[in-house]
Structure 1
């Protein structure tokens, strides 16, 4: 399953090759592969590569959100070109109840492109995921750019509105059965039982 982020958060088209996110089933969970332009702006986060980095959303990053729409439970996965990552579990809008979970993630930069691959364990997904959205952020100061797979429709933009990736009403339907087959059942998560 492949997704291309072709618009900014407000529905304006991006001015570069789109970020591509590919989701593939593996026995332990979902493999998330990212191919993205490398802007090197801002510079790498100060934390050690390969570790979770709180506040990664302030750097160059690609994000994927997997939502149970009825319960407003969601998994947020953030991946950066310098091998930093951040995994958040949220309930309701923006309420983080678990963060900085470990993640198997590799990334490499080649000239003007970066590629990353992460294994998202089934344990991290809330039950009955049925919505999805993805984002990309880069740039500094007035050049900060927020991109969205499913952006806010242009006609709904309010004067002075800012990007907000937790507008769950703009997420679109997502079905694991398209990846896993109709007989597949999402494994139960001990994390989400709490």
Structure 2
């Protein structure tokens, strides 16, 4: 399953080679593969490569969101070309209850492009994932660019509106069963069942 981010968050075409995200379910979890232009703007975060970095969304990053529409529970995965990552578990729009999860994330980077592979365990995914969106961010100041796989339609943009990647109503249908077979069942997550507030 492959997705290309070809528009800005407000539905204008991007002016560079689009970011590509590949999603491949495995027995242990999901293999997420990113291929993207490397802007090197902003400069690298101060954190160590291979480690979680809070506030990574303020840097150059590619993000994927896996949502269960009925429960509004979702996993946010942020990957940086400099090797840092940030994973958040959210229950309700923008309500993160766990973050900075460990991740096996490998990056290769050239002068103009980067590629990353993240191994995301099933325990990080909420039950019943059925919606998806993906984003890319780069640039500083007035050059800051926000791009979306499924953008907000131009007809629904109002004056002064800012990019918001947690507009869950614009996420589109997504199915692991389509890749794994209709009889496949998403593994249960002890992390979500035992750690979520109220459980």
TM tier, shorter chain?
A: over 0.9
Aligned to 2:63: 63
2: CA distance, partners of 1:92 / 1:19: 27
Match of 2:107 in 1: 107
Residue 119 (structure 1) aligns with: 119
TM-score normalised by the chain length of structure 1: 0.99
TM-superposed deviation, 1:186: 0.3
Q: CA deviation at 1:192?
A: 1.0
Number of positions where the alignment pairs a residue of Structure 1 with one of Structure 2: 194
Task: After the TM superposition, list the runs of 4 or more consecutive aligned residues in structure 1 that deviate by more than 4 angstroms.
Answer: none
Q: Distance in 2 between matches of 1:139 and 1:179?
A: 35
Q: Please list, as runs of the form range in 1=range in 2, the aligned pairs for 1:85-164 lying within 5 A after superposition.
A: 85-164=85-164
SS in 2 for 1:179: helix
Alpha-carbon distance, 1:155 to partner: 0.4
Unaligned 5+ segments in structure 1 are none
Give the drift of 1:179: 1.4
Which residue does 1:21 correspond to in 2?
Answer: 21
Alpha-carbon distance between aligned partners in 2 of 1:156 and 1:41, rounded to the nearest angstrom: 30
Report the Cα distance in structure 2 between the residues aligned to 1:27 and 1:154, rounded to whole angstroms.
40
